[in-house]
Amino acid sequence: MIAQVFDTTGEPGEPTDEFRKFAEEAMAEGRKHDGVEASISLADPATGRTLVINVFRDRAAMDAFQAYSNAKIAEVEKLTPGVKVATPDVYTEVIALL
């Protein structure tokens, strides 16, 4: 398995209901793509830091997911002015997934 980790910092504060709904729907839809094994979104309201971790069966599945991911990133950046989602880090070994 392979994972990509997005680490983004925005304004501190609780995520809005609109953002929560967007994230839940985007991740549920993304999870339906072939080869997506898991996805999680974490937020720290005190710092404004958000982590999104996507785990894939293999690099081919991750590469196939990119068009969907890029579209959702564009939506996030529109929904949260001032936030620019950086290129994710890629971890080529997922040691354990429960």
DSSP result, 10-23: --SSPPPHHHHHHH
pTM: 0.90
Residue 46 is predicted with a pLDDT of 95
Per-residue b or e along 47-86, where b marks 16 or more CB atoms closer than 10 Å to that residue's CB: ebebebbbbbeeeebbeebeeebeebbeebeeebeebebe
Tokens standing for 88?
Answer: 């994710």
pLDDT along the chain (98 residues), means of 10: 94 90 94 96 93 97 96 90 89 94
Residue 52 is predicted with a pLDDT of 95
Residue 96 is predicted with a pLDDT of 93
What are the residues whose beta carbons fall under 8 Å from the beta carbon of 84, sequence distance 6 or more? 8, 77
Residue 81 is predicted with a pLDDT of 78
